[in-house]
Amino acid sequence: MSKIASQIKQTAVAVRSKIQRRGKPTLSFPLRSLTNVKYHPKKGFLELKGKKKTRTLTVATVKTFAQTLRMMSQAKTLVEGDEIMTKREAYYVSKNWDDARFDEQPESDTVIDDIEALFEVNREQLGFIPEEKGGEVAGKLVVIDRDSETGKKLRIDCTKFGSGAYSIPISVEHLKFETKAKFVLVIETAGMFQRLVKHGYWRQANCILVSMGGVPTRACRRFIRRLADELKLPVYAFVDCDPYGMFNIYRTLKVGSGNAAHINPFFCVPKAKFLGVTPQDIVDYKLPTHPLKDVDIKRAKDALKNDPFVQHYKPWQDAIQQLLAMGVRAEQQAFAVHDLNYVIHHYLPEKLAVPKTFLP
């Protein structure tokens, strides 16, 4: 029996014996919030502090309690049968549970996240896989995968996708890599990625380009992490200059999230550096801007106050202060104001010439 399966069984045994002793069974989960994480500079990611929330079986919690146990049982079946299930499929399977069924998918997602945190594993290990895919890759990288039918090695050359790109699979643990590139450039928007791919920027800069499409998925983070660790490549992030780009996208990429902190050790890229766009870039490159929205200001202040990562790095605090003082934000595609390919010919080369100026 796998480790996970026996862990699930142990929990079930504990619940049962409590019931047999006429006690109220409990399940305790690590608290999933930014208040329960601390930044560990040496390890380079947000780490759980150990606060727990205990769900005791009462009249009020009986429904969720029943649902959690049924979902655990589902996970055990998956693990034992080496089967996978998307979160959406898990939601549909619950429709067999009569009164304990979920009415909306977010409810079942929360229960899955709870179980994942309960056993401190990522949900893929429990057999639950996400619906979303991982992001796109182009440039000087060869991914070695296996043919699902024959089991033979497949060499995928990421320079051979023309104007398209290699799509990061949901699970990346079995992949192997070969490369001669010097660094990985991680890009927020698909639009900017398209521009760089079309003009073969990876050839010019000798790099691997990865498009995240917003907040990077777990697979995307794990993929970049493995590139960074196994190929010993520096990772530079190129995102919008706004609190969302800085703290939702970049911070999650670099140190992980507060919501699923138990998986951060694997799903973060501590080596990542912030290439741009920085508040100073707005000034230096005379970028057209938009005023900060209320939610941006709120997010920035919240980061200053609560985010352990920001609290650890003075340069980030300064950057936020500067941004708040300017009261504006700028997108990475704003360089188009000078010239469509200004990014390729001026901005990126100029920034890459001095990596020391990158924000941590």
24: left (phi over 0), alpha (psi -120 to 50) or beta: beta
Which residues in the 16-55 window bind another protein by CB under 8 A? Answer: 16, 19-20, 22-24
Region binding another protein by CB under 8 A among candidate stretches 61-69, 178-186, 250-258, 279-287: 61-69
Q: Is 63 in the site for another protein (CB under 8 A)?
A: yes
Contacts of residues 123-126 at CB distance under 8 Å and 24 or more positions apart, as own/partner, are 123/87, 124/170, 124/171, 124/218, 125/4, 125/79, 126/4, 126/75, 126/78, 126/79
Dist. CA 155–CA 132, nearest whole Å: 24
Smallest distance, another protein to C-beta of residue 25, A: 8
Complex with another protein: residue 62 or 154, whichever CB lies closer: 62
Smallest distance, another protein to C-beta of residue 15, A: 7
SS3 31: coil
C-alpha to C-alpha distances, 193 to 62, 269, 311, 335, 341, nearest whole angstrom: 48, 20, 31, 14, 12
Dist. CA 31–CA 48, nearest whole Å: 9
Total residues at the site for another protein (CB under 8 A)?
Answer: 29
Complex with another protein: residue 77 or 259, whichever CB lies closer: 77
Number of H helices, E strands in the chain: 15, 17
What is the identity of the amino acid at 118? L
* Residue showing tokens 């920085």: 278
- Is the CB of residue 296 less than 8 Å from the CB of residue 256? no
- Tokens at 4, concatenated: 């996970």
Q: Is 99 in the site for another protein (CB under 8 A)?
A: yes
Complex with another protein: residue 20 or 148, whichever CB lies closer: 20
Region binding another protein by CB under 8 A among candidate stretches 93-101, 282-290, 308-316, 338-346: 93-101
Q: Is 62 in the site for another protein (CB under 8 A)?
A: yes
Which residues in the 212-271 window bind another protein by CB under 8 A? Answer: none
Of 4, 7, 8, 192, which one interacts with another protein (CB under 8 A)? 8
Region binding another protein by CB under 8 A among candidate stretches 92-100, 122-130, 165-173, 278-286: 92-100
92 in active site: yes
At what angle are helices 105-118 and 62-80 packed, to 10 degrees? 70
Of 4, 27, 46, 72, which one interacts with another protein (CB under 8 A)? 72
Smallest distance, another protein to C-beta of residue 204, A: 57
Dist. CA 4–CA 10, nearest whole Å: 10
Which residues in the 108-167 window bind another protein by CB under 8 A? Answer: none
Q: Is 13 in the site for another protein (CB under 8 A)?
A: yes
Q: Per-residue x/- mask for another protein, residues 190 to 219, rule CB under 8 A?
A: ------------------------------
Identify the active-site residue in 91, 92, 201, 313.
92
Q: Is 77 in the site for another protein (CB under 8 A)?
A: yes
Dist. CA 282–CA 138, nearest whole Å: 28
Look up residue 262 and give its DSSP letter.
G
Smallest distance, another protein to C-beta of residue 77, A: 8
Beta bridge partners of 85: 128
Smallest distance, another protein to C-beta of residue 104, A: 18
Q: Report CA 341 to chain centroid distance, whole Å.
A: 29
Of 40, 70, 199, 226, which one interacts with another protein (CB under 8 A)? 70
Complex with another protein: residue 23 or 288, whichever CB lies closer: 23
ω into 277 cis (within 30 of 0): yes
Complex with another protein: residue 21 or 305, whichever CB lies closer: 21
Q: What's the number of CA atoms in the CB half-sphere (13 Å) around residue 281?
A: 27
As annotated, the active-site residues are: 92
Per CB under 8 A, residues contacting another protein are 8-9, 12-13, 15-16, 19-20, 22-24, 57-59, 62-63, 65-67, 69-70, 72-73, 76-77, 97-100
